[in-house]
Structure 1
Amino acid sequence: MDFQQIIQDWGYLALLIGAFLEGETIILIGGFLAHQGYLDLPLVMLCAFVGSLAGDQFAFLVGRKLGRGFIRRRATLRVRAAKIYRWLKRYDVAVLLGFRFVYGFRNLTPFTLGATGFSPLRFAAFNALGAAIWAVVMPLLGYIFGKAIAAFIDDVKNYELLIIAGVIVAASIYGLIWWVRKRREERAAAVAADLPPELVEAAPDEPKSA
């Protein structure tokens, strides 16, 4: 998928949707395109802020409504939710402000917080502050390294086959690691001790997952 072409065709709407859906890549490219003169950097940051704020607030609200049963029924998800819960108990504010920067946990973190009954007002406050930080940092990274990215794109054209082979090898290794981790997570029976009871204990009419 050519994110650069999508942004050029759809402009700030693409950035807004991308930020809503956990779009670090599309926001970085937005910063790069601002460096190239196609977009306005402050507007890129605004789209990143609004999309990120709305996306994570939505995930939190869904977690409050549906999260408990959803997490209970999925062993793999319970493992990841347990990590988030441990991090929150240990680092608190750092987690609330920094979860957007941890790949794979951005949408799950607010979802889990909603499921655990975390304070909606406290989450909303930290969500706004964290979204503001993320919306400044990510576009700036794309903007500051614009020249390096442009040079890299030129190099890609000269080494396409080598890069494609490298990507295939890297994807295969990643797939193997993911499969091994998934198998381990599914066998992690002790994970329940790290979660609050409401995410582990089934309701009277709801059977516990094996």
Structure 2
Amino acid sequence: MSVEQLISQYGYFALFLGVFLEGETVVIAAAFAAHQGYLKMPWVIAATFLGSIAGDHFYFFLGRTKGRAFVRNRPLWQLKIRKVQSLLESHPRLATVGFRFLYGLRTVTPFALGMSETRTSHFVVFDIIGAFFWSLAAGLFGFLFGSALEALFTDIREYERLILVGILAIGTGIWIAYQIRKRRLRRIAALSRPHDGKVQTNKSRWETGEWRRE
């Protein structure tokens, strides 16, 4: 089976799974594949949208049902939650809609919202709005990236496999660098964790849901 056949048969599922696992790079690669005719752009956007929604809701309900027990022995998550608290405190609606544009906070933000008293219906509405615009933006960026490369190379099909591998390699490199940084932050967070192991969170505006009534 050729690479082209693999992309055509499994591309949408791989895209859905990649977005679910916080893989923005796979969206760009899929949009480039759509530019080259191997995938359909509307389906790329749809798979991106659904993968984003699925991932966000998974972490939201994980936070709602297992929140404090889940982060009790995860000092890095506690550190990120404090960062998200500050963001939601100052810009609650904007942060709820646009958190997926902030690398590294896409999983912890819906988790933190799940731990709060934010209504599920409010989260669903804001999440759908944010996922819609993010899917369009990411897909458009990847498609325009393909158009720019087509303008640079007279016969882009000679290089398309190399380009796809390059996109995924860059994304993998960014992911590895992020994991290294995450391990370093985990060690720092472990050193600063309270001795009783409890999660230190205050009942801020966003956690009590006050911003919904403004």
Q: Tell me the residue number matched to 1:107.
A: 107
TM-score by length of structure 2 reads 0.72
Structure 2 Cα separation of the partners of residues 91 and 4 of structure 1: 44
Aligned partners of 2:26 and 2:92: how far apart in 1?
28
In structure 1, runs of 5+ residues without a counterpart are 158-163, 198-210
Conservation of the 8 A alpha-carbon contact between 1:68 and 1:115:
yes
Report the more deviating stretch, 127-136 or 170-179.
Answer: 170-179
Structure 1 residue aligned with 2:191: 187
Report the alpha carbon displacement of residue 184 of structure 1 after superposing the two structures with TM: 2.6
2:131 aligns with 131
Q: Give the percent of matched residue pairs that are identical in Structure 1 and Structure 2.
A: 34
Once the two structures are superposed, residues 134-186 of structure 1 have per-residue CA deviations (whole angstroms, 9 ceiling, x without a partner) of 110111110001144566995996xxxxxx9xx98x89976765454333322
| Contact kept in structure 2, 1:32 and 1:143, CA below 8 Å | yes
RMSD between aligned residues: 3.4
- Pair 1:113–1:184, CA change in 2 (3 A): same
1:127 and 1:8, CA in 2 relative to 1: closer, same or farther beyond 3 A?
Answer: same
* 3-state SS of 2:137 partner: helix
Q: How does 1:1-210 map to 2 (within 5 A)?
A: 7-148=7-148, 154=159, 177-189=181-193, 195-196=201-202
Change (3 A) 1:128 1:149: same
Q: In the aligned structure 1, how far is the partner of 2:183 from the partner of 2:13?
A: 35
Cα distance in 1 for partners of 2:136, 2:103 equals: 17
Q: Is the 2:20–2:51 contact (alpha carbons within 8 Å) kept by the matching residues of 1?
A: yes
Query: Structure 1-normalised TM-score?
Result: 0.73
Matched to 1:114, the amino acid is G
Contact 2:48–2:135 (CA under 8 A) maintained in structure 1: yes
Moved over 6 A (4+): 170-176
Inter-CA distance 85–51: structure 2 relative to 1 (3 Å threshold): same
Letter aligned with residue 65 of structure 1: T
Q: Does the 8 A contact of 1:64 with 1:111 survive in 2? A: yes
Count how many residue pairs are aligned between Structure 1 and Structure 2. Answer: 186
Q: CA–CA distance in 2 between the matches of 1:38 and 1:155?
A: 11
Partner amino acid for 1:196? N
